[in-house]
Structure 1
Amino acid sequence: MNGKIVLITGTSTGMGLETALGAANAGWRVVATMRDVAKADRLRKAAESAGVGELIEVRPLDVTDPASVAECVNGVVADHGALHALINNAGSGHVGTLETDGVDVARRVMEVNFFGVLNATAAALPHLRATGGRVLTVSSVGGVIGQPFNEAYCAAKFAVEGYMEALAPVAATVGVGVIIVEPAAVASEFVANVGIPADQKELTDRMGPYAPAAQAYLTRTAGAFANAQSAADAAAAVVAALTAERPALRVQTSDAARAFVAPKLADADGSAVFALTSPWVA
């Protein structure tokens, strides 16, 4: 054990679950949070099987509820005396388009994927300043390149990327590291929760004039996820950034993710942007 405490949001399945296991295997004491702790059995069983059950505790946290976030973060610090890292993993996807969805759908997606990240980060920052800790936020390659029929989700992830990129040099002046993690396709339950029904005709039917484009998108996406990175491999990249001595601002979790963002991000690891803006606050 390294004696350090990390709080991770959205740990009931997928990358969040695997990140909790990976951090515990690296010696961290993990506070694994989820909105519904009734879904914690899978994590607990996996932790016991991996021999790290004593290093993982489960607590309720709804990132969209500032009171829930404050209660959880303050409780962790009260019980453990410190907080050394926050991993913003909780999120939800959505497939649709503006004309048929309306604006309220975009607001709901932003509430979880963007404002949820801000709620958790704001609550954690005073404690991370005290420990010289880190904030790691799981974004997406969709936070770099806008993807058809993922308008609301990509908008939220673009917002996360911009916010964290802007926060990084400011947080660095008080000793807090900020890292953005960008997975590409990951094989996890997240895919099943983005709003694609088992009967894809249900989705294309509600797309109206966009149905042919939606069908083309679904066909392409099925191929992309056939070669998806495993949740464990993606989580390993998160844990590597958590434990690295000098992690980059921006971390892609796979060669596929790096190749996907490369056309837009010549500064793939964020070092040039960070070097540009850090002197503004030095």
Structure 2
Amino acid sequence: MPITLITGCSSGIGRALADALHAAGHEVWATARKAEDVAALAAAGFTAVQLDVNDAAGLAQLAARLETHGLDVLINNAGYGAMGPLLDGGVEAMQRQFETNVFAVVGVTRALFPALRRNRGLVVNIGSVSGVLVTPFAGAYCASKAAVHALSEALRLELAPFGIQVMEVQPGAIASSFAKNASHEAEQLLDEQSPWWPIREGIRARARASQDKPTPAEDFARGVVAALQRPRPPRLLRLGNGSKVMPLMAWLLPGSLLGFALKKRFGLNVQL
């Protein structure tokens, strides 16, 4: 029975992946930060682990538990979307975004490398098409997912000598709590003193954009499971509404035309 560990399983993509892989016959180690979410995962039949992906001590304990089992699949899924003007959030917001979305990918993979090496496993990094088509009021998030893409490319080459494969997944719009959480992040940052306050509805619109005709998380998860079960999993997998159109737009459209469309879409075609 393959052993799979997934970070960020409290809801959405992480929980859907846990369910789909369990149904496919995997022994799923599902992690979450909050105790109540861990209890729910344990009740669902997973090996539930309370884990903050930025906690080095917690990662070391997890690695020790997996040392004797080995690990067949690691899915770096934990993450969130920081929304709002880059200059309003500043360096502190960027650091928080990169700690979870980027640094944790390296931290978790590094901690579990011995278990992955033992089983010649597969690393699956959950990126986003937002790392390909950059949008306003999501600069920190887009930058973090562009970094995930670069890290995935580097890890693929560096882990090859150990028989470890790497697959990057770039979801489009997937039905989850992402938009709700992104909207909460945006509201925390919105302030009447901000130079962007007059166009705050554009910020709110960007926070909601990920739920524009979203693909059900269960359908997305089944697609990921089918891909990772191939003898040679794809290097890059795009699934979900917009996952193929958005990168195509970024590739085909002149920058000036794409910029005009984005400024109009998010209320930036004004002078403040």
- TM-score normalised over the length of structure 1: 0.81
1:238 is matched with which residue: 203, 215, 224?
224
Is the partner of 1:219 in helix, strand or coil? Answer: helix
Which residue type is aligned with residue 232 of structure 1? E
Deviation at 1:156, TM superposition (A): 1.2
Structure 1 pair 103–221 and aligned structure 2 pair: CA distance change class (3 A)? closer
- TM-score normalised over the length of structure 2: 0.84
Deviation at 1:31, TM superposition (A): 0.4
Which residue type is aligned with residue 99 of structure 2? E
Q: 1:73-101: per-residue Cα shift (whole Å, max 9, x none)?
A: 221333xx221110001111111112222
User: How do 1:122-141 residues align onto structure 2 when only pairs under 5 Å count?
Assistant: 122-141=110-129
Counterpart residue number, 1:13? 11
Counterpart residue number, 1:86? 74
Deviation at 1:194, TM superposition (A): 1.7
2:51 is matched with which residue: 61, 80, 86?
61
List structure 1 segments (4+ residues) > 6 angstroms apart after TM superposition: none
1:155 is matched with which residue: 143, 151, 157?
143
1:175 paired to 2:173: no
Cα distance in 1 for residues equivalent to 2:60 and 2:116: 14
Counterpart residue number, 2:24? 26
Which residue type is aligned with residue 57 of structure 2? A
- Aligned residue pairs total 252
Deviation at 1:184, TM superposition (A): 1.2
Deviation at 1:216, TM superposition (A): 2.8
Moved more, 146-155 or 24-33: 146-155
Counterpart residue number, 2:265? none
C-alpha root-mean-square deviation of aligned residues, in Å?
2.3
For structure 2, the residue ranges without an aligned partner over 5 or more in a row are 253-272
Which residue type is aligned with residue 100 of structure 2? V
Counterpart residue number, 2:249? 263
Structure 1 pair 103–91 and aligned structure 2 pair: CA distance change class (3 A)? same
Deviation at 1:122, TM superposition (A): 0.7
1:164 paired to 2:152: yes
Q: Is the 8 A contact 2:131 2:146 kept in 1?
A: yes
For structure 1, the residue ranges without an aligned partner over 5 or more in a row are 48-52, 267-282
Is the partner of 2:31 in helix, strand or coil? Answer: strand
Matched residues, percent identical?
36
Q: 1:203-240: per-residue Cα shift (whole Å, max 9, x none)?
A: 65447222344423533664662401111122222222
